[in-house]
Structure 1
Amino acid sequence: MCQNHGVAYIKPGVVEVQSIEYPKLALGDRKCEHGVILQIVSTNICGSDQHMVRGRTTAPAGLVLGHEITGLVIEAGRDVEFIKVGDLVSVPFNIACGRCRNCKVGQTGICLNVNPSRPGAAYGYVDMGGWVGGQAEYVLVPYADFNLLKFPDKDQAMAKIRDLTLLSDIFPTGYHGAVTAGVGPGSIVYVAGAGPVGLACAASCHLLGAAVVIVGDMIPERLEQAKSFGCEIVDLRKETPLSEQIAEIIGVPEVDCAVDCVGFEARGHGSDAGVERPATVLNAIMSITRAGGALGIPGLYVTGDPGAADDAAKEGSLSIRIGLGWAKSHSFYTGQCPVMKYHRQLMNAILYDKIQIAKAVNVEVISLDKAPKGYQDFDKGAAKKFVIDPHGMIPN
């Protein structure tokens, strides 16, 4: 029997690499003939993981983390027809059955059959169905024919693996935020947050033809990373209001559309920069988006936040200026990205050199045993996307 090791959440601020069970083609007491076992080639640390590690969710101790997975198929159930042993594949972070009403219309982020608690599931995430995460050496992937994206040429894919590893989540998620905000040729767009998803969103805005992409953050290194691929920036630590900083860039204090890539741990702006204000980003993007504009909200919001500043925020109730959004006829688009809606097209954009997404988000490859330090550095605001290479397969 092969050994397996994974990154487990222990308590707030602490993760450990532990020996974990080697995956089986089984779901509880029944065989999982529609599933495959993957040897993981790359698996990424995500900002959503960081929410759990900070203790800002109800994640249980011992949860094996990781929902951004790329791997080699080493075993397949008898009902898997189109994915073969030896295939190199990208795994959408959404787990989807392919059979339910939502999956059949492409809403794979809210599959009805893979989580007994609520629609939608993910690997290694709190309240998302109890699926074992992929920050490990091996993992089970169910409904393989439906879920997995096979790379057409394994050697070509390995040469671009730093880019292709981002197809499991942050590239489609950033792209989804841009698409749902209505970004297109000539758009002027504001992206709130220069973490990996925000940077992926900004790069996606360029791919979609935006004329100006403005990125706001409080961490200088992340703002410099946004500037490195052609974004304008606003420093939200400044006392100058966001609208005035935008006007200094484009001549008017509003944009066509905006994307929230921060979520529920947002901080205030200016003198409130160190204070948690969970509704800050949503209210800010309403204030600077033109009447009739749209707001993409891929930033994570939760229904249970034990670390919130007040009782309302602990259950996801925020002081949002919905009256302002209503008065300006804004459209709001929230929820998990349905990765399969985009990942094949974005794969082609990578393979045919239309985007350098790993460069945009500043990928750094680390070994599995360095994952705890990766979490620590990411929590300090490192302007990097940490990609774990459990088997030493990613070329230098």
Structure 2
Amino acid sequence: MPDNRGVAYMGPGAVEVQTIDFPSFTVQDGPGVPQENVGRECHHGVILKIVSTNICGSDQHMVRGRTTAPEGLILGHEITGEVVEKGRDVEFLDEGDLVSIPFNIACGRCRNCKQQDTGICLTVNPERPGAAYGYVDMGGWVGGQAEYVMVPYADFNCLKFPDKAQAMEKILDLTMLSDIFPTGYHGCVTAGVGPGSTVYVAGAGPVGLAAAHSAQLLGAAVVIVADLNEARLKQAASFGCETVDVSKGDPKDQIEQILGVPEVDAGVDAVGFEARGHGEHASEEQPATVLNSLMDLTRAGGKLGIPGLYVTGDPGASDEAAQEGSLSIRIGLGWAKSHSFATGQCPVMKYHRDLMQAILNDRAQIAKAVNAKVITLDEAPQGYDDFDKGESVKFVINPNGLVKS
């Protein structure tokens, strides 16, 4: 049996690469695993040799200590890999297949899965709807920032690339299909982005940049990206976005300078619960800032897509209400402007096949948009540190040396 290593969360600010168990088709007890899941048989699963696995901003929330994630949790929900073993019940995959794995774990059999709401599968997490690899409160499934990982319900969950050689040539783009490209795209779709739209994306991290690129793919006339980080704003500008530095004050004033009016058709929140204030409050954490700002600057009748993460437990929040996910939202403003809101995990499978085709046929260059950078598994702790410091890079971990630098 091959050895296995993975990136473990070891407490606020600390991750380390550890030797871990080689995956099997039976769920083992471990950090965050509900007792009802221990011993669960997964003969419908496959074991993957990881080709690429990415560091996500959602991982960073845990590593900062801003969730209730248990120590020892193996991180990683953005997974692309090669099938090296398949369970007895797998029918449509073979060893050697190269596949992308949605970060949502879904059974394909429950009511929600059958309605394409795979982000809130009813069966894979005994504690609440929805599950993911290597994430807090998401069923305790072992993460994919490792050399090998087990993927359950493989026939349903795995997106097989039609040409393995072609896929490896475009692997830095295709690795984004597991999360941030569909997530950014979902944010834009649910915000009503279409041909001729004016779009405001709050946040120029990888998901925000993916949303901006998605808005362009959907035909937006103008895409405005806002952030406090100069390097990230420069990255957004590199592929044709307008930019707003919210440290300079109310973004509506800068939007008016760009568009001639202070409102946009569609707003996307790619920041989430660690949002900071605007202008003179830019150094302060104000978790409701982005949501309230989007309601203010999105036109009446517009829509808000909210792929940014909000949590029910934030021990690092500045007040007791925010610690349980209660924020001071100006819902009256949104109601008065007849806004529509879309929240929650992106149902990756709703989008990933079409986005794969866009990549394979050179219609999307998502790796360039998010500034993908390949690192080794042993460099993952430094990658987390650099990402936390605001480096405008999407770190792609190459645990088995299969990705060209």
DSSP-derived class of the 1:358 partner: helix
- Please show how residues 54-203 of structure 1 align to structure 2 within 5 Å: 54-203=64-213
Residue in 1 that maps onto 2:296? 287
Report the residue type matching 1:136 in the other structure: A
Deviation of residue 136 (structure 1)?
0.2
Q: How many residues align?
A: 395
In structure 1, what is the Cα distance between the partners aligned to 2:40 and 2:167? Answer: 34
- Please show how residues 308-327 of structure 1 align to structure 2 within 5 Å: 308-327=317-336
Of 235, 249, 268, the match for 2:277: 268
DSSP-derived class of the 1:7 partner: strand
Residue in 1 that maps onto 2:311? 302
Which runs of 5 or more structure 1 residues have no equivalent in the other structure?
none
In structure 2, what is the Cα distance between the partners aligned to 1:223 and 1:395? Answer: 27
CA offsets, 1:311-355, max 9 Å, x none?
000000000000000000000000000000000000000000001
Report the residue type matching 2:88 in the other structure: R
In structure 1, what is the Cα distance between the partners aligned to 2:161 and 2:302? Answer: 37
CA offsets, 1:254-289, max 9 Å, x none?
000100000000000111001000000000000000
TM-score normalised by the chain length of structure 2: 0.97
Report the residue type matching 1:29 in the other structure: G
In structure 2, what is the Cα distance between the partners aligned to 1:219 and 1:29? Answer: 46
Query: Quick check: 1:9 aligned with 2:9?
Result: yes
DSSP-derived class of the 2:379 partner: helix
Residue in 2 that maps onto 1:18? 18
Deviation of residue 31 (structure 1)?
3.5
Residue in 2 that maps onto 1:209? 219
Report the residue type matching 1:26 in the other structure: T
DSSP-derived class of the 1:71 partner: strand
In structure 2, what is the Cα distance between the partners aligned to 1:311 and 1:31? Answer: 40
TM-score normalised by the chain length of structure 1: 0.99
Which runs of 5 or more structure 2 residues have no equivalent in the other structure?
28-37
DSSP-derived class of the 1:190 partner: strand
- Runs of 4+ with deviation above 4 angstroms: none
Of 258, 268, 288, the match for 2:267: 258
In structure 1, what is the Cα distance between the partners aligned to 2:185 and 2:11? Answer: 32
Residue in 2 that maps onto 1:242? 251
Report the residue type matching 2:79 in the other structure: I
DSSP-derived class of the 1:368 partner: coil
- Please show how residues 330-345 of structure 1 align to structure 2 within 5 Å: 330-345=339-354
DSSP-derived class of the 1:395 partner: coil
In structure 2, what is the Cα distance between the partners aligned to 1:6 and 1:119? Answer: 26
In structure 2, what is the Cα distance between the partners aligned to 1:378 and 1:248? Answer: 31
**CA RMSD, 1 decimal:** 0.6
DSSP-derived class of the 1:31 partner: coil
Deviation of residue 30 (structure 1)?
4.9
Deviation of residue 395 (structure 1)?
1.8
CA offsets, 1:11-64, max 9 Å, x none?
100100001111011134353210000000000000000000000000000000
In structure 1, what is the Cα distance between the partners aligned to 2:40 and 2:192? Answer: 44
In structure 2, what is the Cα distance between the partners aligned to 1:45 and 1:83? Answer: 27
In structure 1, what is the Cα distance between the partners aligned to 2:172 and 2:95? Answer: 22
Deviates more, 1:22-31 or 1:381-390: 22-31
DSSP-derived class of the 1:26 partner: coil
